[in-house]
């Protein structure tokens, strides 16, 4: 096979065979196809697209380019959840313990934050001693014994995607739907769970700004999941404003603990219940979503979910006493107030700007190697639709430097817009894309 011929074939709108795609991906991973040929291919794909079968073939080839987790040693139907990333998205921290407490094994790989979006690993590391660097044996043993483990992605997980993504990033070929869907799903499939539930965010703070793009991505990923033999569903959720009230690292962990104590913000709980009920139905633990929701609510009310979080933190080396005494989390030195500039309703809170303000404080990473400050963050007292009076605080900023705190005050204030018009509430879950095999 010659890469030249495959580029020509895709350039002229023809369909690549499974063998051609597999050969191309594996040869590229081994360094046998140069970047210039692969970038010609990705650009041809941008113009000609990939059909459903080609997209699945590309995903499976990338999945198979490196290590795949073998979860066969874990009893039961294993579940995983993925979010396309947002601001204030601490969903996994609450969802995973609830699902595990209900007896469904949660075997999850998570990532760190980059840019304006946060990452689950950074948040979990707010518990002193907590580690996601688990061996495959400990990962499997923890899921078997306490039904939950969250690990960092191994270095050799879908290496073809790592290489291809870096190439797409510098050749203006990131924003092609089949390439995005196969990139995300190759990593999810390599993690080996039976049930995959996806949270595709849409809005100003999301990777997919437009609702129709989020829907196309969700559909493409669900088709891939099903094609690969997994029970897969997606929900499309609003990321026009941050999720919940807390944005930062330990402040988000505290909000997740509050959620497991029955005091979670409404929008956040809605996302947790929507994703969780999908997992419970797809894994066969509940027949229907109302029943699943009730199971989750009872699990929180009786304290089992919070207890599971503590068990999980302890099993991964963390200090579980923080779960029961959140005052122990490290605090930032200074608190700054952001106050409303006029009477009226909060019309919008630009999520990306809030994420960027958190990065200014040191709570997020501009580059992969930045060290984050877990104690800083932003607490949004007022959300979209709330009435405020001029001078009333709309947000608190927790900072470890006056200069950074002052800069963040302006960023957060500029993220808010106020107006006289009452704001219609929009559902946080915009759409559900189902697919059961």
> Is residue 117 within the footprint of ligand URA (CB under 6 A)?
no
Backbone angles phi, psi at 286, to 5 degrees: -135, 150
Length of the chain equals 437
- Closer residue to ligand URA in complex, CB, 127/207: 207
Q: Which residue has the CB atom at the shortest distance from ligand URA?
A: 183
Letter string b/e over residues 267-305, b meaning 16 or more CB atoms within 10 A of that residue's CB: bbbbbbbbbbbbbbbbbebbeebeebbebbeebbeeebb
- Closer residue to ligand URA in complex, CB, 174/413: 174
Our answer to whether residue 384 is catalytic in this structure is no
> Is residue 167 within the footprint of ligand URA (CB under 6 A)?
no
Q: Check: CB of residue 188 under 8 Å from CB of residue 146.
A: no
Instruction: Give the shortest CB-165-to-ligand URA separation in angstroms.
Output: 6
> Is residue 220 within the footprint of ligand URA (CB under 6 A)?
no
Our answer to whether residue 240 is catalytic in this structure is no
> Is residue 387 within the footprint of ligand URA (CB under 6 A)?
no
Our answer to whether residue 417 is catalytic in this structure is no
> Is residue 58 within the footprint of ligand URA (CB under 6 A)?
no
Of the residues 168, 215, 231, 352, only one is catalytic, namely 168
DSSP 359-395: HHHTSS-SSTTPPP-TT-EEEESS-TT-EE-TT-EEE
- Closer residue to ligand URA in complex, CB, 186/241: 186
- Closer residue to ligand URA in complex, CB, 185/320: 185
Compute how many residues bind ligand URA; rule: CB under 6 A: 7
Note the Cα 202 to chain centre separation in Å: 12
Our answer to whether residue 116 is catalytic in this structure is no
Assigned token pair, 362: 């040191």
Handedness of CA 173, 51, 85, 412 (dihedral sign): positive
Of the residues 122, 161, 194, 199, only one is catalytic, namely 161
> Is residue 71 within the footprint of ligand URA (CB under 6 A)?
no
Instruction: Give the shortest CB-25-to-ligand URA separation in angstroms.
Output: 15
Which span (49-57, 112-120, 179-187, 320-328) binds ligand URA, by CB under 6 A? Answer: 179-187
Q: Check: CB of residue 319 under 8 Å from CB of residue 313.
A: yes
> Is residue 171 within the footprint of ligand URA (CB under 6 A)?
no
Among 95, 106, 184, 256, binds ligand URA (CB under 6 A): 184
Which span (74-82, 180-188, 236-244, 366-374) binds ligand URA, by CB under 6 A? Answer: 180-188
Which span (16-24, 176-184, 188-196, 394-402) binds ligand URA, by CB under 6 A? Answer: 176-184
> Which of 85, 106, 99, 378 is CA-nearest to residue 250?
378
> Is residue 396 within the footprint of ligand URA (CB under 6 A)?
no
Our answer to whether residue 82 is catalytic in this structure is yes
- Closer residue to ligand URA in complex, CB, 208/254: 208
Label the pairing between strands 148-152 and 387-388.
unpaired
Instruction: Give the shortest CB-51-to-ligand URA separation in angstroms.
Output: 18
> Is residue 165 within the footprint of ligand URA (CB under 6 A)?
yes
- Closer residue to ligand URA in complex, CB, 42/233: 42
> Is residue 114 within the footprint of ligand URA (CB under 6 A)?
no
Count CB atoms within 10 A of the CB of residue 392. 14
> Is residue 275 within the footprint of ligand URA (CB under 6 A)?
no
- Closer residue to ligand URA in complex, CB, 165/396: 165
Among 183, 237, 241, 316, binds ligand URA (CB under 6 A): 183
Among 106, 180, 408, 409, binds ligand URA (CB under 6 A): 180
Enzyme catalytic residues: 82, 161, 168, 183, 187
Residues found near ligand URA in the complex (CB under 6 A): 165, 174, 179-180, 183-184, 207
């Amino acid at each position: 096979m010659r890469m030249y011929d495959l580029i020509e074939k895709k350039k002229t709108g023809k369909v690549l065979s499974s063998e051609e795609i597999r050969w191309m991906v594996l040869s590229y991973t081994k360094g046998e196809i140069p970047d210039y040929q692969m970038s010609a291919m990705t650009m041809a794909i941008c113009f000609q697209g990939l059909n459903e079968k080609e997209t699945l073939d590309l995903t499976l080839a990338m999945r198979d380019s490196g290590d795949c987790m073998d979860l066969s040693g874990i009893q039961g139907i294993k579940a995983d959840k993925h979010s396309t990333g947002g601001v204030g998205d601490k969903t996994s921290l609450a969802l995973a313990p609830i699902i595990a407490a209900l007896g469904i094994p949660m075997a999850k790989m998570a990532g760190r934050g980059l840019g304006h979006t946060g990452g689950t690993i950074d948040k979990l590391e707010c518990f002193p001693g907590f580690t996601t660097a688990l061996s495959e044996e400990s990962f499997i043993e923890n899921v078997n014994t306490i039904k939950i483990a969250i690990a960092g992605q191994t270095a050799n997980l879908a290496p073809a995607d790592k290489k291809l993504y870096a190439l797409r990033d510098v050749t203006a070929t990131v924003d092609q739907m089949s390439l995005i869907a196969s990139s995300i799903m190759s990593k999810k499939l390599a993690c080996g769970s039976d049930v995959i539930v996806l949270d595709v965010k849409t809005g100003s703070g999301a990777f997919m700004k437009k609702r129709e793009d989020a829907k196309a991505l969700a559909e493409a990923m669900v088709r891939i999941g099903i094609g690969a033999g997994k029970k897969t569903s997606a929900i499309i959720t609003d990321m026009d404003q941050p999720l919940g009230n807390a944005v930062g690292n330990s402040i988000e962990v505290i909000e997740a603990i509050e959620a497991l104590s029955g005091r979670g913000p409404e929008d956040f709980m809605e996302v947790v219940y929507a994703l969780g009920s999908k997992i419970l139905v797809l894994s066969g633990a509940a027949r229907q979503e109302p029943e699943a929701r009730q199971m989750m609510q009872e699990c929180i009310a009786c304290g089992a979910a919070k207890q599971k979080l503590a068990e999980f933190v302890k099993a991964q080396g963390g200090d579980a006493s923080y779960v029961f005494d959140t005052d122990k989390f490290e605090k930032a030195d200074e608190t700054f107030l952001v106050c409303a500039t006029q009477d009226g309703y909060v019309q919008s809170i630009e999520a990306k700007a809030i994420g960027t303000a958190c990065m200014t404080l040191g709570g997020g990473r501009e580059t992969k190697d930045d060290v984050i400050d877990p104690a800083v963050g932003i607490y949004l007292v007022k959300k979209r639709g709330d009435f405020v009076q001029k001078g009333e605080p709309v947000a608190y900023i927790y900072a470890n430097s006056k200069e950074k705190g002052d800069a963040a005050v302006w960023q957060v204030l500029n993220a808010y817009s106020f107006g006289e018009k009452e704001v219609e509430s929009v559902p946080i879950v915009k759409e559900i894309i189902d697919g059961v095999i």
